[in-house]
């Protein structure tokens, strides 16, 4: 059974993600993947496809096992059962926060601009 939720205010998102067992983001094209990232930051597993931009961040913070191939429903279901309700390790959440902090992003952008 699928449940769809209406858009909600930012201040309610953390509570929403904390109530979920696992979030699925099966996109074959997603420029980044903020929803998956927000879920991880809230401590809730989010399964993503390898072609999402956030996959690079997952690899950096040690969540490679949350990157799945959505072509096989059986394998995805198995992975959902495996990770549903798991708490994301604090180290991963801390590393994510450092990678996506305003200072880190600004620093990376400045490096890019200097190369242009």
Is residue 52 situated within a structural domain? yes
Structure tokens at 100: 């996506």
Is residue 3 situated within a structural domain? no
Is residue 37 situated within a structural domain? yes
pLDDT at 1: 65
Is residue 76 situated within a structural domain? yes
Is residue 42 situated within a structural domain? yes
Is residue 70 situated within a structural domain? yes
Is residue 4 situated within a structural domain? no
Contact (Cβ atoms closer than 8 angstroms) between residue 39 and residue 45? yes
- Asked if the model's pLDDT at residue 30 lies above 80, the reply is no
Contact (Cβ atoms closer than 8 angstroms) between residue 52 and residue 27? yes
Residue with tokens 């926060």: 97
> Phi and psi dihedrals of 83, rounded to 5?
-105, -15
Q: Report if pTM > 0.85.
A: no
Tell me the C-alpha distance between 60 and 5, whole Å.
30
Is residue 83 situated within a structural domain? yes
Mean pLDDT, all residues of the chain: 90
- Residues 45-102: tens digit of each pLDDT: 999 999 999 999 999 999 999 999 999 999 999 999 999 989 999 999 999 999 988 7
Give the count of domains, the chain. Answer: 1
């Amino acid at each position: 059974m699928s449940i769809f939720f209406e858009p909600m205010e930012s201040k309610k998102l953390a509570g929403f993600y904390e109530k979920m067992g696992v979030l699925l983001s099966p996109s074959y094209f997603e420029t980044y993947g903020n929803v998956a990232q927000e879920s991880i930051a809230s401590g809730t597993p989010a399964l993503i496809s390898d072609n999402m931009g956030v996959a690079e961040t997952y690899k950096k913070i040690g969540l490679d096992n949350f990157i799945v191939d959505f072509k096989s429903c059986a394998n995805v279901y198995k992975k959902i059962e495996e990770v549903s309700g798991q708490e994301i390790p604090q180290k991963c959440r801390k590393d994510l926060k450092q990678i996506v902090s305003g200072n880190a992003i600004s620093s990376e952008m400045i490096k890019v601009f200097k190369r242009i």
